[in-house]
Amino acid sequence: MRYALIVAAVLGVALGIAAVVLGGADDSPGLQLIGVVLVSVRHPQPSTRQLAARLRPTLP
């Protein structure tokens, strides 16, 4: 399952880059926008509570 998500993310970024390049070649702002949306695939950011839990020292 994890590999499928990685492959899907890489494929989405590759398709987004291709859409930006091809959209710029024929001056298609819609295709460029779709490409930018596909390239902006990100991992979810951890919440502040999760970050605080990581930074908090553990007591023995």
DSSP letter for 5, please: H
CA distance 50 to 16: 31
> pLDDT for 19-57, tens place per residue?
878 777 777 788 778 777 777 765 556 677 777 777 777
Give the count of beta carbons closer than 10 Å to the beta carbon of residue 19. 21
5 vs 51: which has the higher pLDDT? 5
Of 12 and 51, more confident:
12
Model confidence, pTM? 0.51
User: Bigger pLDDT: 59 or 40?
Assistant: 40
